[in-house]
Amino acid sequence: MATASEPAAPSASAPLERPGLLATYRRLWPHLWPHGRGDLQRRIFLAFGLLMLAKAATMVMPFTFKWATDALVAATDKSAPAAVPAGLISAPFVLIGLYGLSRVAMAAMTQVRDGLFAKVAMHAVRRLALLTFEHMHRLSLRFHLERKTGGLTRVLERGRNGIEELSRLMVLTLVPTIVELALVLGILAWEFDWLYSAVVATMIAAYLGFTWKATEWRIGIRRRMNNSDTDATTKAVDSLLNYETVKYFGAEGRETARYDASMATYEKASTQTYVSLAVLNAGQAVIFTLGMTAVMALAARDIMAGRTTIGGFVLVNTMLVQLSMPLNFMGMIYREIKQALVDIDDMFRIIDRNPEIADRPGAPALAVPAGTVRFEDVRFAYIPERPILRGVSFEVPAGRTVAIVGPSGAGKSTLSRLLFRFYEPQSGRITIDGQDIANVRQDSLRAAIGMVPQDTVLFNDTIGYNIRYGRWDATEAEVREAARLAQIDRFIESLPEGYETPVGERGLKLSGGEKQRVAIARTILKSPPILVLDEATSALDSFTEREIQAALDRVSQGRTTLVIAHRLSTVVNADEILVLDHGRVVERGDHASLLARGGVYAALWDRQRQADAAREALKRAEDERALGARSAMEPQPVG
Ligand SMILES: Nc1ncnc2c1ncn2[C@@H]1O[C@H](COP(=O)(O)OP(=O)(O)O)[C@@H](O)[C@H]1O
Ligand SMILES: [Mg+2]
């Protein structure tokens, strides 16, 4: 009997109609049955038609077997009255041919149906993945900082698989199996008597009940396995992203141990998964065999009583063996559907998440006739317990440059994040040409501001791609001009592949200074009316810095510019300098007046001048090291 040799699909049962399934299906339906896609809808109809035909063939098949058996028995029965009609001799072969045909028909129709439906399912997968991906970009920076990147892409990946699984399992496996069960029970009652159906129904109920229980138990084990798997992956990704840091601190051993700890949990949980699978399969085999044996005994009894033929015996057996295949899958289906529901739910939950920063309904686009930026008594905290800005007010008049200086952690970059509306201030407001940035569309706001961030991360593509990111329709000449203004053209031209040089993941193949200049070039290309330079030259040595400073000065000509600087030498020419400390502006004025005042700024200035010489030496050494570590593909760039 075939149960044991059937595909060792883990089994579970099907107490399906959980609200989760229906609700999920209701949500998936518009994507599986998309408006205006008659082709996909026709496919679904066709697939269902084929499903029904295939099931009909499945039911005919055991009968051809029965008829062939009976014909064979009749043909070989010596005790039968002599003259066997000639037609009956060939009957077994005709019937065996029919048996083969019905099997082929069944298999062919099932495969065509699967092929037809694949496009429907994959189309839904694509639509929903796109929706989720779009929404992920709409969610706030806070959300993304709190999430592990690997975790988020996994939600996307698992959600995609979940949708595919769910739609395929339901339509291609679950519904057909229910149809088949009903047909088998009906045929047994009709061909033999109700006792057969009752025995099979009891067996199926026990089988499903057991599978359900066992699968519930296994789901917990699998969850532990998945969690440890995710954990291990996240750790591996994080560790490998920090490759250089790991080397700096010689922490390979620690990293390996961390990874191994996660893998140990994974090992344990996945071993349990296999053990529990064995328990499940064994239990299923026992229950199924008991039912099968009982029905065969019933048939034997009826044959001996002359109520049915040998063919009847063959029929019951064939039908049940056939049923064991989908039954065996039921366990897997239950588990996969349940898992798919969880995965899809995770995905839906992201889609359902309201972006923290959203456009007000009907918000107008920002208009920037001049470009005056004002912060009015802005108070802000990332977490309520720790205020970062405690009432900051200042104005950057149109076309002028204001510098913000202050110790690290004072909240300088926070100001730029608020201006970019990555976060919203708890009180106070930020305006551009009199319009509160909270009341305009985010895309228009962000289009108006160019940002050279403190830490530049590049896309894992070519240098050209990363510069062009600033303005997609820029011409080749414009890209080169931007590179020239950012003083990175000579470096790029010195590379064998020029603008086509890949920068590596996050831009790791470039030094900090090179990355920074790519960031400057793409901002130049964007050419926004308002510019934010967040320690834009902090990664450069002072020689390069002076060169780029000249470029930046040129770029900021006529643009409203907010310069955030740690190094004061870069801001001496600003129209106004604000000293930020502990969330407040403690001093303001131009360089000369601040120096004359002899306060915080003057003190900082003195200290930095002394430190500058030392820093210079350090920087040069660092650059040399970075160069040495890089593959010797390019000649020594400056900075
Ligand atoms: N996403 C965040 N969540 C919580 N605290 C943050 C977050 N980003 C920055 N901070 C904290 O806010 C303070 C100001 O940060 P930042 O504006 O980046 O300082 P800086 O003046 O050096 O640019 C720092 O103490 C930092 O730890
Ligand atoms: Mg900063």
Q: Are residues 136 and 41 in the same domain?
A: yes
C-alpha radius of gyration, the chain, whole number: 36
Q: Are residues 204 and 229 in the same domain?
A: yes
Distance 453 CA to ligand 1 centre (A): 14
Residue nearest to atom 18 of ligand 1 (CA): 413
Q: What one-letter code names the amino acid at 224?
A: R
The pLDDT of residue 17 is above 60: no
Give the separation between CA 148 and CA 41, rounded to whole angstroms: 38
Distance 382 CA to ligand 1 centre (A): 8
Q: Are residues 346 and 437 in the same domain?
A: no
- Give the tokens for residue 550: 């000249």
**DSSP per-residue string spanning 425-470:** -SEEEEEETTEEGGGS-HHHHHHHEEEE-SS--B-SSBHHHHHHTT
Strand pairing partners for 534?
A: 564
The pLDDT of residue 319 is above 60: yes
Q: Is the CB of 24 under 6 A from ligand 1?
A: no
Q: Are residues 117 and 208 in the same domain?
A: no
Q: Are residues 197 and 297 in the same domain?
A: yes
Distance 558 CA to ligand 1 centre (A): 30
Q: What one-letter code names the amino acid at 303?
A: I
Digit-coded pLDDT (tens) for 356-380: 888 889 999 999 999 999 999 999 9
Digit-coded pLDDT (tens) for 500-557: 999 887 777 888 788 888 988 999 899 899 999 988 776 667 677 777 777 788 788 8
Burial 189-205 (b: 16+ CB within 10 A, else e): bebbeeebbebbbebbe
Q: Is the CB of 385 under 6 A from ligand 1?
A: no
Maximal C-alpha separation, the chain: 131
The reported pLDDT for the residue numbered 615 is 64
CA neighbor of 635 nearest in space, from 478, 490, 502:
490
Atom number of ligand 1 nearest to Cα 414 = 17
- Give the tokens for residue 317: 């057996």
3-state helix, strand, coil in the chain (%, to 5): 65, 10, 25
Report residue 9's pLDDT band, with 50, 70 and 90 as the boundaries. very low
The answer to whether residue 485 sits within a structural domain is no
Q: Are residues 187 and 197 in the same domain?
A: no
Q: Is the CB of 544 under 6 A from ligand 1?
A: no
The reported pLDDT for the residue numbered 354 is 85
Give the separation between CA 105 and CA 118, rounded to whole angstroms: 20
The total number of structural domains that make up the chain: 3
Rounded (10°) angle between helices 310-352 and 194-241? 40
Q: Is the CB of 145 under 6 A from ligand 1?
A: yes
Give the separation between CA 246 and CA 500, rounded to whole angstroms: 30
Strands 373-381 and 387-396: antiparallel
Q: Are residues 148 and 170 in the same domain?
A: yes
The answer to whether residue 388 sits within a structural domain is yes
Backbone conformation region of residue 498, classed left if phi is above 0, alpha if psi is from -120 to 50, else beta: left
Digit-coded pLDDT (tens) for 116-169: 888 888 888 999 899 999 998 888 888 888 776 677 888 888 889 998 888 888
Q: Are residues 402 and 264 in the same domain?
A: no
The answer to whether residue 472 sits within a structural domain is no
Residue with tokens 């708890």: 426
Digit-coded pLDDT (tens) for 441-499: 999 999 999 988 877 888 999 999 999 999 999 999 999 999 998 888 999 999 999 99
The answer to whether residue 73 sits within a structural domain is yes
The reported pLDDT for the residue numbered 443 is 92
The reported pLDDT for the residue numbered 620 is 74
The answer to whether residue 633 sits within a structural domain is no
Distance 322 CA to ligand 1 centre (A): 65
CA neighbor of 404 nearest in space, from 554, 536, 562:
562
Domain hosting 285: range is 193-307
Distance 166 CA to ligand 1 centre (A): 43
The answer to whether residue 487 sits within a structural domain is no
Which domain CATH number covers 65? 1.20.1560.10
Distance 312 CA to ligand 1 centre (A): 80
Q: Is the CB of 408 under 6 A from ligand 1?
A: yes
Query: SS in 3 state form for 78-106?
Result: CCCCCCCCHHHHHHHHHHHHHHHHHHHHH
The pLDDT of residue 417 is above 90: yes
Q: Are residues 154 and 26 in the same domain?
A: yes
Atom number of ligand 1 nearest to Cα 564 = 23
Q: Is the CB of 143 under 6 A from ligand 1?
A: no
Helix, strand, or coil (residue 399): coil
Digit-coded pLDDT (tens) for 190-225: 888 899 999 999 999 999 999 999 988 888 888 888
Q: Is the CB of 79 under 6 A from ligand 1?
A: no
Q: Are residues 101 and 39 in the same domain?
A: yes
Digit-coded pLDDT (tens) for 51-70: 888 888 888 888 888 888 88
Give the separation between CA 458 and CA 594, rounded to whole angstroms: 37
Using most ligand atoms within 8 A of CB, pick from 143, 414, 452, 585 the residue to mutate for ligand 1: 414
Give the full edge-to-edge strand order of the sheet including 387-396. Answer: 387-396, 373-381, 427-432, 435-436
Query: SS in 3 state form for 59-75?
Result: HHHHHHHHHHHHHHHHH
The pLDDT of residue 88 is above 70: no
Alpha-carbon dihedral angle through residues 318, 323, 325, 331, given to the nearest 10 degrees: -160
Q: What one-letter code names the amino acid at 384?
A: P
The reported pLDDT for the residue numbered 256 is 93
Q: Indicate the burial class of 213 (C-beta count within 10 angstroms; 0-12, 13-18, 19 or more).
A: middle
Q: Are residues 283 and 429 in the same domain?
A: no
The answer to whether residue 466 sits within a structural domain is no
For residue 334, how many C-alpha atoms fall within 13 Å in the half-sphere facing its CB?
27
Using most ligand atoms within 8 A of CB, pick from 147, 382, 386 the residue to mutate for ligand 1: 382
Q: Is the CB of 413 under 6 A from ligand 1?
A: yes
Backbone conformation region of residue 221, classed left if phi is above 0, alpha if psi is from -120 to 50, else beta: alpha
Atom number of ligand 1 nearest to Cα 534 = 23
- Quickly count: other Cβ atoms within 10 Å of residue 492's Cβ: 25
The answer to whether residue 516 sits within a structural domain is no
| Contact by Cβ (8 Å): 32, 121 | yes
Alpha-carbon distances of 530 from 358, 419, 456, rounded to whole Å: 22, 10, 19
**DSSP per-residue string spanning 527-578:** --SEEEEESTTTTS-HHHHHHHHHHHHHHHTTSEEEEEESSGGGGTT-SEEE
Q: What one-letter code names the amino acid at 131?
A: L
Distance of CA 567 to the CA centre of its chain: 40
Distance 404 CA to ligand 2 centre (A): 10
Which domain CATH number covers 556? 3.40.50.300
Q: Are residues 257 and 345 in the same domain?
A: no
The pLDDT of residue 7 is above 60: no
272-280: list long-range contacts, CB under 8 Å, 24+ apart: 272/221, 272/224, 272/225, 273/218, 273/221, 273/222, 273/225, 276/214, 276/217, 276/218, 276/221, 277/8, 277/10, 277/218, 279/214, 280/10, 280/11, 280/12, 280/211, 280/214, 280/215, 280/218, 280/331
| Contact by Cβ (8 Å): 548, 477 | no
